[in-house]
A = this chain, B = another copy of it.
């Protein structure tokens, strides 16, 4: 036990940056904060609307683009795989919230968009969702929110510089 504790207290040897331990703590805090809020929103969407976060997320992207979006574009914006979208869309078509039609100009492409029912359902959920988010962030004041927004932008840019660097 003592040796394990010592190993934890000791700074890492092979890390690429001097305070990589602090970066890991920062990453864990970012992850747990997001997960805490996400779980609560997920729970409320289920309890009050009988829906899920991925469904809501997909509908929110479609609501912004009344002309419709391709599956690939949606999967890129939602940062999930292509195969994931196929099933998710399938279930939303089943429930009548989304419709799918092939593109006129490229027969490989499927365009999806909200139905009238989907739009109405989304608007009601979006109002509640917005209030929930405001409630969850209530203790964060205005300057704090602005600063957090800016720091997350910097973090995202930093991560993107790594994930987008694959050559060829």
Contacts and interface: CB of A to CB of B under 8 A. Distances in A.
* Chain A interface bracket (under 10, 10 to 19, 20 to 34, 35 or more): 35 or more
A1 B119 CA distance: 13
Interface string A78-110: 010000000000000000000000000000000
A116 to B, nearest CB: 12
A14, A133, A138, A149 interface centre (most CB from chain B within 10 Å): A133
A138 B29 CA distance: 17
Nearest to A137: B23
Contacts of A32: 79, 156
B148 A26 contact: yes
The A interface, classified by DSSP as helix, strand, loop or mixed, is helix
A141 to B, nearest CB: 9
A158 interface: yes
Given A79-B36, A130-B21, A130-B24, A4 B135 contact: no
B66 A22 contact: no
By CB atoms of chain B within 10 A, which of A40, A127, A157, A159 has the most? Answer: A159
B36 A163 contact: yes
Interface of A: 1, 4, 8, 12, 14-17, 19-27, 29-40, 63-64, 66-67, 79, 127, 129-131, 133-140, 142, 144-145, 147-149, 151-163
